[in-house]
Amino acid sequence: MDFISSHLLTLILFSPVFAAAIIFIIPREQENLIRWSALVLSCIPLALTISLWFGFDRSLEGFQYQEMAVWYSAINSSYHIGVDGISLTMVLLTAILTPLSILASFSIKDRVKSYMILFFLLEMGMLGVFLALDLLIFFVFWEFGLIPMYFLINQWGSEKGEREIWGGRKIPARTYASFKFMIYTMAGSLGLLLAIQLIGVVSGTFDLPELYKIWPMLEKPLLGLPVSTVKSIAFWAFTLAFAIKVPVWPFHTWLPDAHTEAPTAGSMILAGVLLKLGAYGFLRFVLPLYPAESNYFAGALGFLAVMAIIFGAFASYGQSDFKRLVAYSSVNHMGFVVLGIAAAAHSVGSENANIAMNGAVLQMFNHGLSAAGMFFLVGVIYERTHTRNLNDFGGLFPLIPVYGGILMFTSMASLGLPGLNGFVSEFLVVRGSWPVFTVYTALAMIGLLFTGAYILRGIKQVLHGPLNEQWVGHLSEINTREILVMAPLMVLMLWIGVWPAWILDVINRAVAMLF
């Protein structure tokens, strides 16, 4: 027990690898055994995370459950991991969504074994990003997560569809999407790696808690450049990498492609967790390491966030592909996260900053729940009808009433209906950013209005209206397994909507201590 509690984070981080190893030794023909083992094994990180949640002392400042081991002593980089309230919520989100995604993947028929192994590796990569307290370790996990996702989209993505690139050339849509996802993120990471090295060279360490203390105070010029220039360059390198990942407008076009082409569970994780890596990067690195630059450039970031909110909503409204509609909704919702972060960066130390930041972190968690739910529901209907075109549905409510009810519920959470989770976080962001960026916040309301428009359009085209007779007798109701995927998400959405204090308290304390 002592070992477990003193190495809890390492266990959480590498239990997915252990799971992958177990799956590896199961013969590939035993598909059902693989599925069930994967589900059971994916509950190990969840169980450990829950014990972490209860073991975490929310009144303490700084990182807890820290572990430190020698890793790359020549350049002073070490295996240093730990959690605070912000990373804890993100770890919880990852640990919750992974078993659900695996349960959602039971309908995968093709190369189940490789699929599950990749999924566990993906989980490890994401957990590593949230737990790392060393810049190099962080970067390793950051890049590592890309690879399983690339293969999941490239190999298990939707088989139909082509995308025209240039000169009339057409390539399969999933190839296009996986490439775009990979290359775009890598392009952002390049600068990130250089900036990390720059920090390492200048300050002689990659250790985050130490850097928090020394880097913002740093006055030493580098390569003959004044320190402010160096910091600005490094700031933008970080920002660009995270902005692509979030994604902030106008770096968002990889997202609809990747989300649309990924397999259902892949989209759940992409929207649920991977997008949060970018926002988390802002919170963990950009704001604490570059307080002055963040403050200076917050207006620009806020502007981009508002553009994401508005254009994300409009783009979503303009889609005729159900999954693309949901994909664009992520741009819209993550815009609120970034708006909150920008507002907080601009007014550090004020009550507004605290509220905006609370809203941003909670919105990350909430979006993880609702986006994963929405993608899953799109997947459920796609598996049955093999179409995602909104015009092919219509009036399906009488055929699939339970599915309809669940879709309605999840859509409303996504829309930000008071009483469900999305409202709490959006309200906090709006409240926090109103005094800071009044005009931007007012403009963001256009996005909020059209959030309603696209959500209702989705419901209208799928569930309401005259019944499309084509599906009578061909469309089966959502099954128990699928309901089990949705049930925990729905419970959490309602719970956070009605009584958010259980999670917001953890976030609030962490935010108050950090900023």
Partner 1 sequence: MTTETLIWLIPLPPILAFFLIVLFTNRSKALSHTIAIGAALLSWAGSMVVFWRAINTPELGKNPILSPYKWLPIGDGWFNIGVQIDPLSAVTLFFVAWTILMIFIYSVGYQNYGQPEGDHDRPGLPPHGATVTDASGHHHQVPSVEPMYSRFFAFIGLFAFGMYTLVVSDNLLTLFVGWEIMGLCSYLLIGFWYGKPSARVAMIKAFMTTRVGDVFMLLGIAYLYAQTGTLNYRAILYNEETLHTLASTPSGFLGMSTAGLIGLLLFIGAVGKSAQWPLHVWLPDAMEGPTPVSAMIHAATMVSAGVYMSIRVFPLLSAGMHEGGQLTSAMMVMAFIGAFTALFSATIAVAQNDIKRVLAYSTISQLGYMIAALGIGAYVAAAFHLITHAFFKALLFLGSGSVIHGMEHGVLHTGDHIDPQDMFNMGGLRKKMPLTFWTFLIGGFALSGFPLITAGFWSKDEILADAFGHGHWAVFITLAVAALLTAFYTMRQITLTFLGEPRTKAAHHAQETTWTMTLSLVVLAFFAITAGWAGIPEHFPVIGGLVPNWFHEFVGSTLLEHPEGVEFSIWPLLTSLVVALGGLALGWYVYRDIRAEAPDPVEKALGPVHKVLKNKYYFDELYDFLFIKPAFWFAETFTSAWMDRGVIDGFLHRVAQAVGILGNFLRNKIDKRIINEWFGDGIGNSIRQVGQDLRPIQTGKIQQYMMFGLSVLAFSALFFYFFVMRPF
Residues interacting with partner 1, by CB under 8 A? Answer: 165-167, 180, 183-184, 250, 252-253, 256, 311, 314-319, 351-352, 354-355, 358, 395, 397-398, 401, 405, 408, 412, 417-419, 423-424, 427-428, 430-431, 434-435, 441-442, 445, 448-450, 452-453, 456-457, 460, 463-467, 499-501, 504-505, 508-509, 512
> Looking at this protein, which amino acid is placed at residue 297?
F
Q: Which is nearer to partner 1, 211 or 493 (CB)?
A: 493
CA angle at 437 for the pair 431 and 439, rounded to the nearest 5°: 105
Q: Which class for 218: exposed (0-12), middle (13-18), buried (19 or more C-beta within 10 A)? A: middle
Q: Could you tell me which of 419, 405, 422 has the C-alpha nearest to residue 487?
A: 405
- Cβ proximity of 131 and 13 under 8 Å: yes
Nearest distance from C-beta of residue 357 to partner 1, angstroms = 10
Which residue pairs, CB below 8 angstroms and at least 24 apart, start in 449-454? 449/313, 450/310, 450/313, 450/314, 450/316, 450/317, 451/313, 451/329, 451/332, 451/414, 451/415, 451/416, 452/415, 453/313, 453/317, 454/313, 454/316, 454/317, 454/319, 454/325, 454/328, 454/329
Tokens, residue 239: 């920002």
d(CA 467, CA 186) in angstroms, rounded, equals 46
Q: Which is nearer to partner 1, 379 or 500 (CB)?
A: 500
d(CA 346, CA 117) in angstroms, rounded, equals 43
- Cβ proximity of 273 and 329 under 8 Å: no
**Cα dist. 217→78, 133, 210, 228 in Å?**
23, 19, 12, 11
Q: Which is nearer to partner 1, 113 or 259 (CB)?
A: 259
Q: Could you tell me which of 495, 489, 506 has the C-alpha nearest to residue 96?
A: 489
Q: Which is nearer to partner 1, 15 or 441 (CB)?
A: 441
Q: Which is nearer to partner 1, 109 or 474 (CB)?
A: 474
Nearest distance from C-beta of residue 313 to partner 1, angstroms = 8
Q: Which is nearer to partner 1, 7 or 58 (CB)?
A: 58
Give the torsion sign (CA, 423, 424, 425, 428). Answer: positive
Nearest distance from C-beta of residue 142 to partner 1, angstroms = 22
Chain center to CA of 176: 21
List residues bridging with 162 in a β-sheet: 172
Q: Could you tell me which of 262, 409, 399, 394 has the C-alpha nearest to residue 323?
A: 262
Nearest distance from C-beta of residue 250 to partner 1, angstroms = 5
Nearest distance from C-beta of residue 29 to partner 1, angstroms = 40
Tokens, residue 169: 């050339």
Give the torsion sign (CA, 395, 400, 401, 405). Answer: negative
Q: Which is nearer to partner 1, 62 or 401 (CB)?
A: 401
Nearest distance from C-beta of residue 458 to partner 1, angstroms = 11
Q: Which is nearer to partner 1, 136 or 504 (CB)?
A: 504
Nearest distance from C-beta of residue 416 to partner 1, angstroms = 9
Q: Which is nearer to partner 1, 105 or 363 (CB)?
A: 363
Nearest distance from C-beta of residue 327 to partner 1, angstroms = 11
Nearest distance from C-beta of residue 503 to partner 1, angstroms = 10
Nearest distance from C-beta of residue 397 to partner 1, angstroms = 6
d(CA 485, CA 244) in angstroms, rounded, equals 29
Q: Which is nearer to partner 1, 42 or 451 (CB)?
A: 451
List residues bridging with 132 in a β-sheet: 81
- Cβ proximity of 246 and 278 under 8 Å: yes
Q: Which is nearer to partner 1, 204 or 405 (CB)?
A: 405
Q: Could you tell me which of 493, 481, 325, 327 has the C-alpha nearest to residue 425?
A: 493
Q: Which is nearer to partner 1, 141 or 437 (CB)?
A: 437
Nearest distance from C-beta of residue 316 to partner 1, angstroms = 8
Nearest distance from C-beta of residue 355 to partner 1, angstroms = 6
